[in-house]
Chain A
Amino acid sequence: MNPGVATVYRWELFKLRYQKRTYLGLGAAALVPILFVVALHFRHPHRGGDFAFSSYLTRSGLAVPLVILLFGAVWMFPLITALVAGDIFASEDHNGTLKTVLTRSLERHQIFAGKMLAAATYAVTAIALNVSVAVVAGCLQSGFNSLQSLSGTIVSAPRSLELVYVSALVYLIPIATIVAIGLLLSAVTRNSAAAVVGTLMVSLLFQLIGILPGMGAVQPYLLSTQFNAWQGLLRTPIDWAPIVRALWVCAMYGIPALLAAFLVFLRRDVAGG
């Protein structure tokens, strides 16, 4: 069988199984919901937050994954995503293995595509794991009960569960952009730590711009805002506008970043290692 993108993808996933950072990110994705639910269990019954679904945390376990999605956007999910996306080219530079793989029978664009898919797969796995653990832990704590939508209507528990996973799917839109930024910084800096921290900094920078006074006009077009697009699903009827906007705003940031990463990787001299 001739080697191709699928070969690189398969081996990238295999390599991830042997790297500590893989388990660091996935471990955090699984642990945070558990810690959250434990904290929920011991908190004062009359102390609630002032954010979406906060009042429902004790009434339905299905509110837990949604609240974690809400707060995870600040740094947790960008960091988990960057752990692999920011490392995937830079670690080859660190190990000096880029020259080893580039002198085999695969073109650079195939290697790029395989690595990109692996980084994206990792991000999807982390989100899926986080949401699933949050659903189970939340339901164990508060029960598998109906939710109140953001429009005030009651949504049945099975329909709420479905919406939780579709929300996670929408959440992957800005996460894909984070992957693209991580890949770019990984290819450009050739330094894993710089790429991971840099990706997180970019994400935090968007958050910062979002809270600056007088920036209301640009708010809908910030990457950080797109992490809330899933909330449109929890309105009655569903508000698709933020989701559609998330698609093109994220494409606006993500596609140039991905293209730049591709060109840097394609044209770069492999002179180190």
Chain B
Amino acid sequence: MSTGAPVRRDGDAGSRPADPGAPPVQVRGLVKRYGELTAVDGVDLTVHAGDVYGYLGPNGAGKTTSLRMMLGLIRPTAGEVRLFGRDPTASVAALDGVAGFVEAPTFYPYLSARRNLELLAAFDGDGASARIDTALDTVELGGRARDRVGGYSHGMRQRLGIAAALLRAPRLLILDEPATGLDPAGMRDMRRLIRRLADEGMTVLLSSHLLAEVEELCNRVAIVRRGRLVYEGEIAQLKRSAGTTYRLRTTDDERALAVCRAQRGLSGVRVERGHICFAADEQAAAELSQALVESGALIVALAPETVTLEDLFFSLTEEDAAAAGSAATLPEPDARVVAAEGTS
């Protein structure tokens, strides 16, 4: 059952015709509370047409809850979701041109893959049944279509989930952890499939723990921590704004770590494989050198490294970085970094 305060609903926002100019996904002030727990806390994000958009966050950050609200499966406590300008909690008409799955895709285990797709195509109408063979071929399940889904491996179910989504000929594909549980070959195939669909013009919103995969596939990301948005924008911009990651070794790493944590302009300070790692710009690194010398921790090595999305993800989502308000990650136009206290 829905919990929390009732949401004021825009009467016909779900069933009115899609606005061709509206972005595929627009989320404003989205909140979901379960009693005392706030699973999603004021999330704002926009997915533009043609984006491959990554939705990132640690376990329990509220990603899946947000996606469920986007698909109309759960009602927001506050805020609104619009898919092509329509409200998915008001009517399934808002899901026209939208498909996907949250958590693992699920099917009737006692029916074959083909029967499952026939059922879903019947529920879709609009000629979806004519797309069953193509969808099965796209995910390379044509040869196993008559097998009961109960006997399918996790990877096959993930692929069948994509096939079920393709029946709707979507313009927007929403995928929750599509590569979770797949072996390396399965992950590679899933990545290629998503890339291909995006190249064909589909807008993709995907949540993932696999940061290298997101970095390879996505052009824009939203990063959430404990239900709150800490960044939304282009990955390239995030990397530019984050400065450089440095690796540091000193004669007294314990003292150096304390100095780094206290030093202004450093973020994501952590110990990794015997090195102190942090993100900083050149000026902050130079100031750190001086501070280390003054503290008596002499520098053995201080080397810049290429920053990865993973570094940035940890710097934005880990506890100590959040306490520092992610201050080192500077916002630039069209990208939003949100301090732990509030939203933009």
- Which A residues are within 8 Å of any B CB, using their own CB? 1-3, 7-8, 10-11, 14-15, 18-19, 95-97, 99-107, 264, 267-271, 273
Contact = CB atoms under 8 A, between A and B. Distances in A.
Contacts of A264: 1
Contact of B2 (A8, A100, A104, A269): A269
Interface stretch (B94-102, B222-230, B244-252): B94-102
Given A15-B111, A95-B106, A273-B103, A103 B122 contact: no
Nearest to B65: A271
A107 B95 CA distance: 11
Interface stretch (B71-79, B207-215, B253-261): B71-79
Interface stretch (B123-131, B183-191, B272-280, B287-295): B123-131
Contacts of B122: 3, 7, 10-11
Main secondary structure of the interface of A (DSSP, over half): loop
Contacts of A103: 71-73, 92, 95, 99-101
Contacts of B72: 102-103
Contact of A268 (B1, B105, B164): B1
A105 B73 contact: no
A263 to B, nearest CB: 10
A18 B107 CA distance: 14
B156 interface: no
Contact of A105 (B74, B92, B102, B103): B92
Nearest to A102: B73
A1, A100, A103, most chain B CB atoms within 10 A = A103
A7 to B, nearest CB: 5
Contacts of B330: none
Interface in B194-253: none
Nearest to B120: A104
B165 to A, nearest CB: 9
Given A107-B91, A267-B1, A97 B108 contact: yes
Nearest to A264: B1
Contact of A269 (B73, B99, B111, B119): B73
B68 A271 contact: yes
Contact of B106 (A19, A100, A107): A100
21 contacts: A3-B122, A3-B123, A7-B125, A8-B123, A15-B108, A15-B110, A18-B108, A95-B107, A97-B106, A102-B92, A103-B72, A105-B92, A105-B96, A105-B126, A264-B1, A267-B1, A268-B2, A269-B2, A269-B68, A270-B74, A273-B103
Interface string B1-40: 1110000000000000000000000000000000000000
B73 A100 contact: no
Contacts of B65: 271
A3 B103 contact: no
B151 interface: no
Given A100-B164, A268-B1, A105 B68 contact: no
A19 B108 CA distance: 11
Given A7-B122, A99-B102, 10 more contacts: A2-B126, A3-B123, A95-B109, A103-B92, A103-B101, A105-B92, A105-B124, A106-B92, A106-B123, A268-B2
Nearest to A268: B1
Contacts of A273: 103, 106
A123 to B, nearest CB: 21
Given A103-B71, A107-B92, A271-B74, A18 B110 contact: yes
A270 B120 CA distance: 18
B113 to A, nearest CB: 13
B104 interface: yes
A100 B125 contact: no
